[in-house]
Amino acid sequence: MKIILINISGKESFNRLTKRRQCQKCGQLIPWVGEFKKCDKCSGELITRPDDKMEVIEKRLEEYKKETIPSINYYKKRGRLIKINGEQSIENVFKDILKAIKM
């Protein structure tokens, strides 16, 4: 069994989380792409989720360091971890995952 980690830096994670919005009407998550208008699905208003506030994100990233990194290291030491660069395009992340699972 292999474990796939879609890896992004803490800085990138923080940037993505502080910039995304959620449609108040239908709940769709919308990444920041330079400007926000209305939801492209239902034209609902876009809001910042309570768990995407700066202080909450900082706490989540600290929990990640304490709780998740030890598991990542466990699988890495056993040669079972496959790291995928999550800071590239969605299409390239998908291609890399497909390559990894065909091993």
How much is the pLDDT for 16? 87
Reported pTM: 0.74
Distance, in Å, from the CA atom of 6 to the CA atom of 39, rounded to the nearest integer, reads 27
From first to last of its 103 residues, the chain has per-residue pLDDT tens of 899 999 999 899 988 888 889 999 999 998 877 777 889 899 999 998 988 888 999 999 999 999 999 999 999 999 999 999 999 998 999 999 999 988 6
Q: Which domain holds residue 42?
A: 3-101
Q: Order across the sheet with 21-23: list the strands.
A: 29-30, 21-23, 46-47
Domain CATH code at residue 18: 3.40.50.300
Number of folded domains in the chain? 1
Dihedral (CA of 29, 35, 36, 40) sign: negative
